[in-house]
Amino acid sequence: LGLRVAASRREARSERSLRCHATSPKFVMASRASLLLLLLSASSAATLGVASGGVARDALFTELDRLPVFVLANAGRQPLQYTRDGVDLALFYEDPRDAEAALVEAVDSYPTLGLRLQPTGLGGALRLALDGGRAVLVPGGANLAAAKALPPILASG
């Protein structure tokens, strides 16, 4: 009985430690960076025909909608559109601080639009990005640094 109680306490401590680690900002950022890399791999696989654009891809987008991204929207909750090469697109920011900075600039440039930040799901933003390039995903600085620190996936040369 004493051995079982000690093992149970060890498991409880380990579980508490895991919960604390899983909610730490560094873990959340690394997890989001990893998820974005997974997403890029999945979208590349779909482009190459490895995953036909069916259930698996839709399930991935649905799961990604649990992660928020932020877009500048007008008073009617429509994304602020920019034009690049004749294509209207919206910018979706991963980091809310970057989105807030962009909002300050946009309000100065377009004061009559009633601009605000609108949270939305990453999956929907990615669908727009993959659908004719109608959106651009702007990663946060911390995630870019985390991605740069990862070892290369493919061998060069």
pTM above 0.75, yes or no: no
Q: Which helix (H) or strand (E) holds 41?
A: helix 25-47
Q: Which two tokens stand for residue 1?
A: 């009985």
Distance of CA 117 to CAs 12, 28, 82, 120, 133, Å?
41, 22, 16, 10, 21
Q: Which two tokens stand for residue 55?
A: 């259930």
Confidence (pLDDT) at 68: 94
User: 40-44, 69-73, 85-89, 139-143 — which is least confidently predicted?
Assistant: 40-44
**Nearest by Cα to 83 from 134, 151, 19:** 134
Confidence (pLDDT) at 67: 92
Residue 29 predicted with pLDDT over 50: no
Confidence (pLDDT) at 15: 41
Distance of CA 41 to CAs 3, 93, 144, 153, Å?
46, 20, 16, 11
User: 25-29, 80-84, 95-99, 132-136 — which is least confidently predicted?
Assistant: 25-29
